[in-house]
Structure 1
Amino acid sequence: MEFVSILNDVLGPVMRGPSSSHTAGSWHIARLVRDLLGGEPAAAELIFDPDGSYAATYRQQGVDLAFAAGLLGWELTDGRFARALALAPAEGLDIRFRVAPLAGADHPNTVHGKLVARDGRRLAFTAKSVGGGMVVVTGLDGRPVHLDGKSAVAVRTGGAARTARPLFFVRKGEPLFLSASEMVRLAAKRRVSLGRQALAYESALLGLTEAEVMAEIGRRFDIMKDAVRRGLSGRGLAMKLLEPSAGKVLRAEAKRRLAAGGLPTRLTTATGPDERPRWSPDGQRILFISSR
């Protein structure tokens, strides 16, 4: 059975919309090939097959922004993301997009790219975004490869050694359980809560201390809260497909103008700016929010 990581597969990976495949996946591809290039990108050409979905949606779903931000070395959560294309020239990156037939494009989210670094190094690649932010680089300089970002990479193409960091947390241990029933039995045996058992699981699986796992959960919780605050305010948002509406929904619910509302609607505003994940006084539960 395939193992599941809480940080990689449940509370992650951290992604940016509007599309996990087109936006987050494209950024993951860009992050990988930037590393593989081995130098600061100066020029990039991204080619999409006319029969694929990239060709029809790369502007509307932020594919262009994601490739630009990733090639610039920016984090997916960087506040400059929406201006990545506009800022790229000043950052020394000439990035262009083209629609043309791609031989062997067996997936709608296939991209072929050509990169040139400032020091003259070059890289040609083929990759595809396969869903949920997951990606596969299938070709480097004409050589078939299979790089999914789940581990560190070292390959040699055209006489050049190329390396890339993992996109996700790397598995370093064995899972403590492989099913919900096993988890319940183990938690009962250890006389701990399911939350504590999940923490022990992730710590063992990824080779992190429990404190490190909690710190990463806290970072992601901050990202979630910031997304909620920005979504409710509606200010400074450059959404590609829809206008921000969460704030309108919440205000309408407060005036009892929704067909359904109540606690699920209000929970999104129940956190303070200084909240952090923490254990309850009895040590059995992780507290994230305080309802009111």
Structure 2
Amino acid sequence: MGNCNSCSSKGKCSDNSECAGLVPKYGKIKHIIGVISGKGGVGKSTVTGILAVQLKKLGYKVGVLDGDITGPSMPRFFGINDKRSEIKQVGESENVKFTPVETSKGIKVMSLNLLTEEEEAPVIWRGPVITGVLKQMYSDTEWGELDYLLIDMPPGTGDIALTIMQEVPLEGMIIVSTPQEMVSMIVKKVVIMAQKMKIGLIGVVENMSYVTCGKCGEKVRVFSKKSAEEQAGYLGLPLLAEMPIDLDLVENMENGNVEDYISKCENYEAFLDNFKSKVGI
């Protein structure tokens, strides 16, 4: 499942063994998918959450790792920001394991905001510390048996993205963009990085593609006259979905009903169908 070419343990494991890279200590995960962009504010967390809910709707066991350590948002997305992860000591050692918080639909979530006393508390750490914490959250969380772990990655091509691509057995990554050409240029950097790291790219989701007129139902493109297909062509990736600016989604997030809304909303069914066809499920 993993990507041996980018693995830091390449050459240290046999052809018939499990990958010697970073693995969870307390569970077994079948498929790991990263969600990334070159720029912040494009909706990576939203896309991660939508895919998690849709996969859970199909009956899969799903977990979400909030890899954006300095800007974690998955607890707020799922409405579990008032809950906290339990930290357990392992035997008589100094090792610990984290218990993920489960959403109303049973999605297991681990985020730094579930480990801090206040969700507004800033993370003022340098890169090596942030990377170390991320690796611990991945490997020391009590994931149990998961069919899919989705990693909401921080924007850009920095330390955390590099660590995940090198040390986590990613099955593939989803790229998130918005219609502006400047954003597409920055997102292209992540695409090229993943290609250099030999990471498989499942496709691109264009978020905030349009708004739907409440009177006539016409799709109005706010940020660019170019189609989502044109933007995907520039990135050299298949288009998984073009998602609208959805105020109902925002309202349901604020009311804590986001999972029910996504499960019933037709806007996100095409995304799931295209994802299934790309990964073979």
Taking structure 1 as the reference length, the TM-score comes to 0.26
Bigger radius of gyration among the two: 1
Structure with larger RCO (C-alpha < 8 A, sep 6+): 2
